[in-house]
Structure 1
Amino acid sequence: MNAESDERRGTAATVVPGSVSGDGQKSERELGSRAPRFIRSSRVLHLSWQVGIFVVGLAVVGAGIVMLPLPGPGWLVIFGGMAIWATEFVWAQLVLRWTRRKVTEAAQRALDPKVRRRNIVLTAVGLVIMVVLVGIYVWKFGVVMPWKIDE
């Protein structure tokens, strides 16, 4: 999509987020720019608006990437930057829709009783294996940690 949005040509988004369409399914917003009308009316102003949104989103995503190995909510900040980009760019809106759909599917699968039972069993088996390995280590080497250097 170019700098001009569909909304400028008169096909403004009429779907309210979270609204339910006539067939009972939840409809999504139309793709495109969500810039104010006076900004969309001028091509130069709209293009500079998009550059500003891109730079701000890039800074937020960059901060999130830095927070991945460092302390901080890295993924949350990255998705926040994607949400900033999604106010203006269709590709970011599509990525966020796909992510939202996948997270919803994963949450529904996690609530399935069979999956929960399997996860509990796997967690219990993993904990037993960890306790056995720690027990073997303590039996073989004692309570002295390997990084304690007396020399």
Structure 2
Amino acid sequence: MGFEVAMDRDEKRRGASELMDQTAAAVGEAVEEAEAAVEDATRAVSGRFHRFREYIRRNRLLNTTWRIGVFTVGVTVLLGGLVMMITPGPGMLGIIVGLAILATEFAWAKRALRRARAAAEKAKEKALDPRARRRNTILGVAGGVLVGALVIAYLVIYEFTLPWNIVDYTPWTKD
């Protein structure tokens, strides 16, 4: 009786294993079909774009208009990246995207894009350097402590008075 139960359990396991193998094969086939469909769609879209771009290149006025449009969009994104270098935002990303847009039409932008990518790679390596990270952490903590000390000094001097309610801004003439 115990032997029959063990055989029945083994048959159930084999059945489950076969079902899992069949499911894995079906999923693999579905993935292959999806990859083929994506590749076909990519070829169709890129083929259409290349035909469209060749049509524009043959017409001098359209080509000039296209290049002016690419230049305008690329320079706008590039300038946005430069502004974000001094204001909050992903400045390097904006610069690289702007150069990538320009590089679709201009050889000088391709060279600049290669240099910008190399500079971004160097900056990444430098940021991941343990000594630089430790230094930046120390500077950040020191800056936070300094700002905290200034806020506390302000609150002590002006006795928790909001700035727009202060009558006399000179703390040394206080009685």
Task: Name the structure, 1 or 2, with higher relative contact order (CA <8 Å, separation 6+).
Answer: 1
Q: Does 1:54 align with 2:68?
A: yes
Q: TM-score, normalised by structure 1?
A: 0.57
State the Cα deviation string for residues 7-63 of structure 1 (Å, max 9, x = none).
xxxxxxxxxxxxxxxxxxxxxxxxxxxx94886699753774354133233135336
CA displacement at 1:113 relative to structure 2: 1.0
CA displacement at 1:110 relative to structure 2: 1.0
* Alignment equivalent of 1:119, drawn from 106, 125, 136: 136
Q: Does 1:97 align with 2:114?
A: yes
Q: Structure 1 stretches of 5 or more lacking a match?
A: 1-34
Hey, what's the Cα distance between the residues in 1 that align with 2:88 and 2:126?
A: 28
Q: Following superposition of structure 1 onto structure 2, how do residues 18-37 of structure 1 map, counting pairs within 5 Å? A: 36=50
Q: Report which of the two has the higher share of helix.
A: 2
- SS of the residue corresponding to residue 144 of structure 2 reads helix
CA displacement at 1:80 relative to structure 2: 2.9
Partner of 2:25: none
Q: Following superposition of structure 1 onto structure 2, how do residues 1-150 of structure 1 map, counting pairs within 5 Å? A: 36=50, 44-45=58-59, 48-49=62-63, 51-62=65-76, 65=79, 68=83, 75=91, 76-77=93-94, 79-148=96-165
Against the structure 1 CA distance between its residues 94 and 60, is the aligned structure 2 distance closer, same or farther, given a 3 Å change threshold?
A: closer
Q: Structure 2 stretches of 5 or more lacking a match?
A: 1-48, 168-175
CA displacement at 1:112 relative to structure 2: 1.0
Report how many residues are paired: 115
What percent identity do the matched residue pairs reach? 33
- Residue type of the alignment partner of 1:106: A
- Residue type of the alignment partner of 2:103: A
- Residue type of the alignment partner of 1:85: L
Report which of the two structures shows the higher radius of gyration computed on alpha carbons.
Answer: 2
The answer (yes or no) to whether the contact 2:96–2:117 under 8 Å persists in 1 is no
- Residue type of the alignment partner of 1:123: G
